């Protein structure tokens, strides 16, 4: 059995002065790392979902700033600040919903503001710190979330909130890894997660690599599974959490929360505090990324829908806080999150 201190997957690697991203569009059929050497390529990779998952996006963007600094200071030592700023803006626009992206870029901008000369070394140290902090936070959340599970049973997850979506170990899958190692999780049910099939291609793949029992199901089958009493918890990640505890996550999460409440299944959200946006009062203001119609009209490049049909393809939805039983961050566990509890957690110093 896999130790709860390990995972077999890394989506983001800094190696030999370049960023290597595991191309998640090709999984599980092909394992291919793309080597990126400039910020524009990183922004494109984020937009095109070579890398995805809010924490991983933020880490990749931080390394993108390092690449921008190295290129611009070497060629234009008198204009590097302006040129880096243009790259930062390009990176920030690559995916609008995940707040970790802007959070990581703000940290990098703070370092830039303190640098009079070549900022590359200090920016690399900051990006590596963001990466390491994310892995540490995931391991902490894994332990905290597993402790909240109670008695042994099966869980359901949606999309991919594992090592592939983070610096390593995972948020929702971090809890699942820790819970399985502790004997509290007997099986994981994974929604296929249309239209990008992150559950089928990525989550199921991760769990198979780690030898954790996993059963794949169509998104529309989840409520029927709950009705049969097969699931004790739904465990998901998040791309942005508002000040009142509303949660933006992959499209389909809200429907799971509604079904879970109806069937007496508990609903857990696992995300680092970098995902919390205290400037967003509630979920109504969270920008929801609209993706291309082709993602629904085709599958693997082949048409699967009637020609001429209109498409509505939001990448995320918002689950209201009142449907969240527990929120797990690296700073602790909040049962029945609300604005007051969120504010108290964010004032608390990290471990």
Topology (CATH level 3) of domain 141-347: Rossmann fold (3.40.50)
Which helix (H) or strand (E) segment holds residue 54: the answer is helix 54-75
Which helix (H) or strand (E) segment holds residue 68: the answer is helix 54-75
List, in sequence order, the alpha helices (H) in 76-160.
80-92, 99-114, 120-147
Give the start-to-end residue ranges of the domains of the chain: 12-135, 141-347
Identified catalytic residue from 239, 246, 277, 325: 239
The pLDDT, as a whole number, for residue 301 is: 87
The region, left, alpha or beta by phi > 0 then psi within -120 to 50, assigned to residue 30 is beta
Q: Does residue 87 carry a catalytic annotation?
A: no
> Tokens for 98?
């995940």
For residue 146, what is the DSSP state?
H
Mean pLDDT, rounded, for 83-106: 93
Q: Would you say the CATH fold of 141-347 matches that of 12-135?
A: no
Whose structure tokens read 């880490």? 59
Nearest to 2 by CA among 157, 189, 127, 170: 170
Nearest to 179 by CA among 257, 253, 232: 232
Mean pLDDT, rounded, for 309-331: 98
3-state SS track over 282-302 = CHHHCCCCECCCHHHHEECCE
Task: Read off the pLDDT of residues 137-193 as tens digits, 9 standing for 90 and up.
Answer: 999 999 999 999 999 999 999 999 999 999 999 999 999 999 999 999 999 999 999
Task: Read off the pLDDT of residues 193-228 as tens digits, 9 standing for 90 and up.
Answer: 999 999 999 999 999 999 999 999 999 999 999 999
Mean pLDDT, rounded, for 57-70: 97
Task: Read off the pLDDT of residues 273-307 as tens digits, 9 standing for 90 and up.
Answer: 999 999 999 999 999 999 999 999 998 889 999 99
The answer to whether 237 and 230 are in contact (CB under 8 A) is no
Tell me the torsion sign for CA atoms 268, 272, 275, 276: positive
Topology (CATH level 3) of domain 12-135: 1.20.120
3 backbone dihedrals φ, ψ, rounded to 5°: -65, 145
The pLDDT, as a whole number, for residue 1 is: 37
């Amino acid at each position: 059995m896999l130790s709860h201190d390990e995972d077999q997957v890394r989506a983001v690697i800094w190696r030999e002065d370049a960023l290597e991203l595991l191309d998640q569009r090709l999984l599980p059929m092909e394992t291919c790392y793309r080597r990126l050497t400039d910020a524009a390529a990183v922004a494109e990779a984020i937009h095109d979902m070579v890398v995805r998952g809010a924490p991983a996006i933020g880490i990749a963007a931080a390394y993108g700033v390092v690449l921008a600094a190295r290129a611009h200071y070497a060629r234009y030592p008198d204009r590097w600040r302006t040129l880096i700023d243009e790259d930062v803006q390009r990176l920030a626009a690559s995916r609008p919903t995940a707040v970790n992206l802007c959070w990581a870029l703000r940290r990098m901008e703070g370092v830039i503001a303190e640098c009079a000369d070549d900022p590359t070394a200090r920016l690399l140290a900051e990006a590596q710190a963001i990466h390491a902090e994310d892995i540490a936070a995931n391991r902490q959340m894994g332990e905290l979330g597993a402790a909240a599970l109670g008695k042994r049973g099966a869980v359901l997850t949606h999309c991919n909130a594992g090592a592939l979506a983070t610096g390593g170990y995972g948020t929702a899958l971090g809890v699942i890894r820790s819970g399985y190692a502790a004997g509290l999780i007997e099986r994981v049910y994974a929604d296929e997660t249309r239209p990008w099939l992150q559950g089928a291609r990525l989550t199921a793949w991760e769990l198979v690599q780690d030898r954790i029992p996993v059963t794949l199901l169509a998104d529309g089958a989840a409520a029927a599974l709950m009705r049969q009493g097969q699931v004790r918890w739904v465990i998901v990640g998040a791309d942005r959490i508002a000040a009142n505890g509303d949660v933006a996550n992959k499209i389909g999460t809200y429907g799971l929360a509604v079904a879970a409440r109806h069937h007496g299944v508990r609903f857990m959200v696992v995300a680092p505090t970098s995902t919390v946006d205290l400037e967003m009062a509630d979920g109504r203001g969270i920008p929801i990324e609209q993706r291309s119609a082709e993602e629904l009209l085709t599958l693997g490049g082949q048409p699967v829908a009637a020609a001429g049909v209109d498409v509505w393809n939001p990448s995320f939805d918002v689950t209201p806080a009142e449907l969240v039983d527990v929120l797990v961050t690296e700073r602790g566990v909040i049962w029945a999150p609300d604005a007051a509890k969120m504010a108290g957690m964010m004032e608390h110093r990290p471990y």
